[in-house]
Amino acid sequence: MEVQDTKSTLQVTPRNEEKIKKIWKTAGFLLAITLAEFVMAFTMDRGILLYSLFIILTIWKAKYIMMTFMHLGDEAKPLFYAIIVPLIFLVWLVITLIKEGSDIFMMRW
Amino acid sequence: MSAHSTAIEVSSKRGVWGGGNEPLKASYGKLMMWFFLLSDIFTFAAFLITYLAIRVSYPAYAGAAETFTGSNEYWPVPELVFEALPFLHGVHAPLIFVGIMTFILIASSVTMVLAVEAGHRNDRNDVVKWMLWTLLGGITFLSCQAWEWSHFIHGTDNGSLLTFVNGLGQNVTETVFGANLMVNEYGPASFAQLFFFITGFHGFHVTIGVFLLFLCFYQAAVGIYDKRGHYEMVEKIGLYWHFVDLVWVFVFTLFYLI
């Protein structure tokens, strides 16, 4: 039997420090946003303003993860839109179900 | 043009969608991973939007933080429910533990991108190194979640006095400790039900992710990807792992902050 050859036949390219720096920078952003949310949870009054800020910051984080970590921004435009456009339907779902939930609230209390 | 020609005649005017090329410039595997993730986004969105809908159908706890007691009449304040730390019994540390969990998952997502980046460079040593860190992060996150669940199920020292319909259909008033799918000491029954289902479904995804990460780590280490000539599998599993992180970002906001 032949011993498995574990030597690489592929050409290894040297590290692109700039790309790696960008990854760490994005990671720093994500942590900073999470920390900001953390501080806000304890210093601000609960209410519509705080909740809206939380949701905006969350979507902002999601954008960083999808664009930089998942490289969706670097994909071909048709693929990018095939993923992003269907998510618009979720906006409708959020609005309808929150309305439904608050109507149930009015009937119960 | 010969009648025996087997080659397909290609018009030079054929457009991007005319066939014979890759309009989306991505491999089959990567495309399918993206469309799977899109469908998974809808599944998680359905869960989380259900959470929102049920959340707004209950009044929220509005009293002082010091006098908070759980009740099935109103929705609890998350920082007063998730406030325990392992090994530090009785210490009030609101959201600290879940903050650490979030940090671990984001960090493992970062090491994953670094592994993908190393894969683009065909650098086996770097891929193996970063995959190992990612794997470690995934396992640590799962262990933290196991503790979080265990604490949530066992509850606090004092519990809460609740009036509820028990498993035999009787209306009872008694002190409840911890949580199950019928009743819990923190809030309405649906609070614990949604907690178990959503964090459980996410944890299930993380578990599958850890298996995939191990597979990828192993295959990279023994040189399968070198033989194959490319490291695309690292990229595909990376997409899945980032998705798990993405979902956690939303779970964190909805469950622990709002």
pLDDT tens per residue, chain B (258 residues)?
A: 445 555 666 666 677 788 777 888 888 999 999 999 999 999 999 999 999 999 999 988 877 777 788 888 889 988 888 877 887 777 777 888 898 999 999 999 999 999 999 999 999 999 999 999 999 999 999 999 999 999 999 988 878 888 888 888 888 888 889 898 888 989 899 999 999 999 999 999 999 999 999 999 999 999 999 999 999 999 999 999 999 999 999 999 998 888
DSSP at A70: S
Chain B residue numbers touching A66 (CB-CB < 8 A)? 242, 246
CB contact under 8 A, A34 and B106: yes
Helix, strand, coil percentages in chain A from 3-state DSSP, rounded to 5: 75, 0, 25
pLDDT, residue A64, reads: 92
pLDDT, residue B5, reads: 54
The more confidently predicted of residues A24 and B168 is A24
Of B114, B124, B253, the CB nearest to A23: B114
CA angle A33, B52, B62 (to 5 degrees): 80
Handedness of CA B250, B254, B257, B258 (dihedral sign): positive
Copy the structure tokens of residue B188: 């309405």
Copy the structure tokens of residue B136: 């470690």
CA distance B51 to B26: 35
Of A4, A79, A102, the CB nearest to B24: A79
Chain B residue numbers touching A5 (CB-CB < 8 A)? 223
CB contact under 8 A, A69 and B242: yes
Q: Nearest residue on chain A to B241, judged by CA atoms?
A: A70
pLDDT, residue B210, reads: 97
pLDDT, residue B153, reads: 93
Of A40-44, A102-106, B32-36, B136-140, the least confident: A40-44
CA B26 to chain centre: 25
Q: Nearest residue on chain B to A33, judged by CA atoms?
A: B249
* Burial of B85: CB neighbours in 10 Å, binned 0-12, 13-18, 19+: middle
pTM, two decimals, is 0.89
Closest by CA position to B241, among listed B116, B64, B153? B116
What is the phi/psi pair of residue B84, to 5°? -105, 160
* β-strand partners of B161: B175
CA distance B245 to B243: 5
- Are B170 and B148 a contacting pair, CB within 8 Å? no
Residue-by-residue DSSP string for B111-125: HHHHHHHHHHTT-HH
Say how many Å lie between the first and final Cα of chain A, rounded: 77
CB contact under 8 A, A76 and B79: no
pLDDT, residue A4, reads: 54
Closest by CA position to B181, among listed B171, B167, B168, B201? B167
Closest by CA position to A46, among listed B50, B83, B257? B257
Domains of chain B and any CATH numbers: 28-59+69-257 (1.20.120.80)
Q: How confident is the model at residue A1 (pLDDT cuts 50, 70, 90)?
A: very low
Q: How many CA atoms lie within 13 A of B88 on its CB side?
A: 9
CA distance B110 to B74: 39
CA distance B207 to B246: 15
Chain B residue numbers touching A76 (CB-CB < 8 A)? 23-26
* Chain pair A-B, CB pairs under 8 angstroms: 149
CB contact under 8 A, B38 and A97: no
Closest by CA position to B144, among listed B197, B192, B94, B102? B102
Closest by CA position to B221, among listed A65, A31, A6, A108? A6
CA distance B105 to B196: 19
pLDDT, residue B1, reads: 45
CA distance A18 to A61: 22
Chain A residue numbers touching B222 (CB-CB < 8 A)? 4, 6
Q: What ipTM did this prediction achieve?
A: 0.88
pLDDT, residue B249, reads: 93
Rounded to a whole number of angstroms, the distance from the CA of A1 to the nearest CA of chain B is 17
Chain A residue numbers touching B223 (CB-CB < 8 A)? 4-8
The more confidently predicted of residues B158 and A1 is B158
Which of B21, B44, B77, B113 to mutate against chain A (most A CBs within 10 Å)? Answer: B113
Chain B residue numbers touching A39 (CB-CB < 8 A)? none
State the amino acid at position A61 in one-letter form: K
